[in-house]
């Protein structure tokens, strides 16, 4: 018999499933707890994630670890300058014997899609992701083909100062719920990582030894449904919208965040509340997720860039100026 959750808390089964995902990925990706939490936030609220970091910091490892925890389909597309849109989405092939076209679906048809080094492909190829990220479908030869839920894109990119990279189109950036930075690990974490890898205890090839079970697609869909049902007070909702609107009324930001940012902050805050075993959103949940939701949706003024400001620094300052509700 299922144990009933306490007032204001979530069910033990939900807590166990989220903790399983969190702890399993931490076994193979050391020293990146905040990054893991943000990727799980996106999974819970049906969002997509853009992971940015220098080569060798574990971006691809993180996605593979998540795929190992999850029994749905997982596919990887390596983005290169010569990758064409049809290489991802698929195309029609004429069958001479039957006298008709057959549709061959591309690798984009999966549950968990790793778009590796997405900014190494030109804008035309990147734009092929716009429809599937927003509408969860792909149009081939004029006919829409829906994706099987759950569907999530995890794109990795190297900083655009790296040679051979292209900036992502604005419309595509806006479709990522979160932009997550992967930074260097701390001393103790890096020491443990070096020891584990050089002794053969930790490698992509034997990842299944560390993650011995997986949860199913139905469980992920149920977690996503529970996330949507998390309660949010009117004052907290008002606070989220005021934070986003503040980005449109400051001289340090040339282009503020749009309504997708408001939707994203509330959705992500619900997921963060669920991950903290609560069935309601606090103002602190809004603060916790607001920067990764908005950092890729604002454009700094030329003066701010000249002075060396970053989106994170500007957003941090902005959050301090917006009144927090007392709930």
Please indicate, yes or no, whether residues 55 and 164 belong to a single structural domain of this protein.
yes
| Phi, psi of 292, deg, nearest 5 | -65, -25
Please indicate, yes or no, whether residues 88 and 181 belong to a single structural domain of this protein.
yes
Give the contacts of 64 (CB within 8 A, at least 6 positions apart). 74, 114, 204, 207
Please indicate, yes or no, whether residues 1 and 140 belong to a single structural domain of this protein.
yes
CA gap 268, 240 in Å, rounded: 11
More confident residue, 259 or 104: 259
Eight-class DSSP state of 119: G
195: containing domain: 1-229
Q: Are 114 and 75 in contact (CB under 8 A)?
A: yes
Please indicate, yes or no, whether residues 183 and 280 belong to a single structural domain of this protein.
no
pLDDT score at 279: 92
pLDDT band at 160 (very low <50, low <70, confident <90, very high): low
Q: What is the pLDDT of residues 208-253, one digit of tens each?
A: 555 667 788 899 999 999 999 999 999 999 999 999 999 999 999 9
Please indicate, yes or no, whether residues 238 and 225 belong to a single structural domain of this protein.
no
Please indicate, yes or no, whether residues 58 and 189 belong to a single structural domain of this protein.
yes
Of 188, 207, 229, which closes a domain? 229
Q: What is the pLDDT of residues 39-64, one digit of tens each?
A: 999 999 999 999 988 777 777 778 88
Of 201, 229, 257, which closes a domain? 229
Please indicate, yes or no, whether residues 187 and 45 belong to a single structural domain of this protein.
yes
Which domain CATH number covers 323? 1.10.8.80
Report pTM.
0.88
Sign of CA dihedral 52, 180, 20, 216: negative
Please indicate, yes or no, whether residues 288 and 307 belong to a single structural domain of this protein.
yes
pLDDT score at 96: 77
CA gap 63, 207 in Å, rounded: 12
CA gap 76, 106 in Å, rounded: 11
Q: What is the pLDDT of residues 164-217, one digit of tens each?
A: 677 787 888 889 999 998 888 888 888 887 887 787 766 555 555 556 677 888
Q: What's the structural domain count of the chain?
A: 2
Please indicate, yes or no, whether residues 204 and 115 belong to a single structural domain of this protein.
yes
Please indicate, yes or no, whether residues 217 and 241 belong to a single structural domain of this protein.
no
Buried b (16+ CB within 10 A) or exposed e, 275-289: bbbbbbbbbebbbbb
């Amino acid at each position: 018999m299922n144990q009933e959750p306490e007032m204001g808390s979530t069910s033990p089964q939900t807590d166990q499933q989220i903790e399983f995902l969190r702890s399993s990925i931490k076994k193979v990706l050391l020293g990146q707890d905040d990054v893991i939490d943000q990727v799980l936030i996106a999974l819970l609220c049906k969002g997509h994630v853009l992971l940015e970091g220098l080569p060798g910091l574990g971006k691809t490892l993180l996605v593979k670890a998540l795929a190992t925890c999850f029994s749905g389909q997982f596919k990887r597309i390596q983005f290169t300058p010569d990758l064409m849109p049809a290489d991802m989405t698929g195309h029609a092939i004429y069958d001479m014997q039957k006298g008709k076209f057959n549709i061959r679906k591309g690798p984009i048809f999966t549950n968990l899609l790793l778009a590796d080094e997405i900014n190494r492909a030109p804008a035309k190829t990147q734009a092929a992701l716009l429809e599937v990220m927003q509408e969860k479908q792909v149009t081939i030869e004029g006919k829409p083909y829906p994706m099987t839920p759950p569907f999530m894109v995890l794109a990795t990119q190297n900083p655009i100062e790296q040679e051979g990279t292209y900036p992502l189109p604005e419309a595509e950036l806006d479709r990522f719920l979160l932009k997550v930075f992967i930074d260097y690990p701390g001393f103790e974490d890096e020491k443990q990582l070096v020891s584990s890898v050089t002794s053969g205890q930790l490698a992509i090839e034997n990842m299944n030894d560390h993650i011995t079970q997986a949860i199913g697609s139905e469980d992920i869909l149920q977690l996503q449904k529970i996330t949507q049902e998390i309660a949010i007070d009117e004052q907290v909702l008002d606070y989220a919208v005021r934070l986003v609107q503040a980005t449109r009324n400051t001289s340090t930001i040339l282009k503020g965040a749009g309504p997708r940012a408001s939707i994203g902050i509330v959705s992500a805050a619900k997921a963060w509340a669920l991950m903290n075993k609560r069935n309601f959103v606090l103002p602190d949940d809004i603060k916790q997720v607001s920067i990764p939701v908005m950092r890729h949706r604002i454009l700094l003024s030329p003066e701010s860039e000249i002075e060396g400001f970053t989106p994170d620094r500007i957003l941090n300052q902005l959050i301090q100026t917006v009144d927090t509700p007392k709930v």
